[in-house]
Amino acid sequence: MKKTITLFFLAILFANCEQKKETTPEIAKVDYAIFGDSITAENALSNSEMMEKFSTLKEGDTLEVKFKTEINEVCQKKGCWMTLELSDDKEAFVKFEDYSFFVPKNAQNKEVIVNGKAFVNIESIDALKHYAKDAGKSQAAIDSIVAPKTTYSFLANGVLIAK
């Protein structure tokens, strides 16, 4: 009789474990290519959380941070910079620490996680025209740049791009 009762409880326990296993949602695992320092995806801020951080910075302030977003644009000459989507139709301009690595020129619209230093920067007209040329913009678009621009900037030491 003890064996029957024990088997009965083991069967119920096993059935409950199986049911729980079936109802547990799968967590999507994203496979990333690594550029620069090896970093992980854990604890990355969202693009809207990053925009909140940028809004508190003044020129000269820096903030060590990691965030996740989508790539808007990549330098078409070498992959030496990229722009990333923030909230409120804003974007972050990303360069790479010590010019030590680049990202693929075809990485536009891919998910990305960047780790490094966030800061606010005022870009000169010459720098803005240089970046526009690197991005393959038309001469008319380049010539339309007539004023400096305050940018949300980021110096990345590590980048993960979804494969």
CA atoms of 88 and 54, how far apart (whole Å): 12
Please name which of 92, 94, 81 lies closest in space to residue 51, comparing C-alpha atoms. Answer: 92
Which sign, positive or negative, has the C-alpha torsion 132, 45, 119, 40?
negative
42: three-class secondary structure by DSSP:
coil
Within 8 A by CB and 6+ apart from 59, the residues are: 119, 120, 121, 122, 150
Residue ranges and CATH numbers for the domains of the chain are: 27-162 (2.40.50.110)
CA atoms of 109 and 117, how far apart (whole Å): 22
- Predicted local distance difference test score (pLDDT) of residue 28: 63
pLDDT (tens digit per residue) in 85-144: 999 899 999 999 999 999 999 999 999 999 999 999 888 999 999 989 988 899 999 999
What pTM, to 2 d.p., does this model score? Answer: 0.73
119: three-class secondary structure by DSSP:
strand
| Predicted confidence (pLDDT) at residue 19 exceeds the cutoff of 50 | no
CA atoms of 84 and 158, how far apart (whole Å): 15
50: three-class secondary structure by DSSP:
helix
